Amino acid sequence: MTGKNKDKPWSRIIILAASLTGFILALYFMHRIGFHNIFSAVASIGVEGFLLFCFFSVIVLLLLGAAWFSVTPNQSLRKMPLFSWGRTIREAASEILPFSQIGGIILGARTLTGAGLPFQLVYASMIVDMTAEMASQLIFTLFGVGTISFYYFGGGKAMSIQPLSYAGLGVIVVILLLFILFQRPILNVAGSLAEKIVPGAGDNIRDVSNKMTEIYHQPMKLLASFTFNMLAWVVGASSAWVALRFMGVQVSLTAVLTIESLIFALRSAAFIVPGAIGLQEGAYILMAPLFGLTGAEMIALSLLKRARDISIGVPALLLWQINESRRLL
């Protein structure tokens, strides 16, 4: 077997297959509900409603940038927009490009290192921020599961969704624990392998680990990152409520926060599928009747989210590409 065959990009094939399967699932759900019903619901939001929906996402990106900035030592406040720009590129790549979330993370980090921030500082702060982000998501998911359980034990119709909500919570817990327990061993292994390929690269990896230790010994920075990330989850979920209200759908904010907390958990669990395409739509349809919503309204919300991601992500990625080209030149 040749080296070329050994290096066959199986990961890309898996991501492509998952994306194609999700796209087919999304089309199937839309066909079952009715394209006319869905697009009528999408159109009902209006231009003003969609612009406000996008504005909420800008606030979320600013909060995520502030969370990352909070755990990055010795940075002046005027650099905080750079971190929000890095998160914008990370989210855009994860949602629009045929990457998994890992690809988006790499591009987000590249945005900061390309702007002159040290490699060790960027990756150390990013790993710590991701830990705080997952911890805040765990709390947000607990809220959703708790609400579902209340409906269930109160004699509601939540029995059909409760196992899925528990599964989502379990996945978040497992991912968080694995991420905390293995982030340092993985860095050590990566450093050893890198040293064999590129002399001196192992030192950079060890510097990342040392910088992480420094950040973890500053609890106020961790608390700030956790708080900003929690606000981002809540504001992001609230934007869905705003979109539904502009569509003329009467639903409580608590119900939407519950739905979105479980959708976010599903998207984290399905990180291998870009944008959780198909899975997000299926979960929305499953949860819609529980809160008195229709499948058309939920699929319309899902499509609006994807339209918003494209409206923000495509210009951001184009600007990023222009900047990268200038650096290379």
Report pLDDT digits (tens) over 35-88: 666 777 778 888 899 999 999 999 999 999 999 999 999 899 999 999 999 999
- Residue with tokens 């009902």, as numbered in its chain: 44
Among 304, 265, 307, 308, CA closest to 287: 265
> Where do the structural domains in the chain lie, given as residue ranges?
23-322
Q: How confident is the model at residue 9 (pLDDT cuts 50, 70, 90)?
A: low
- Checking if the pLDDT of 17 tops 70, the result is no
pLDDT at 5: 46
The CA distances from residue 29 to 277, 284, 304, in Å, are 11, 10, 16
Handedness of CA 226, 231, 232, 237 (dihedral sign): positive
| Residue range 95-122, pLDDT digits in tens | 887 666 777 888 888 899 888 898 889 9
| Residue range 174-221, pLDDT digits in tens | 776 776 676 666 555 544 544 444 445 456 677 888 888 899 899 999
pLDDT at 95: 80
Structure tokens at 193: 């392998």
Structure tokens at 60: 């979320």
- Checking if the pLDDT of 173 tops 90, the result is no
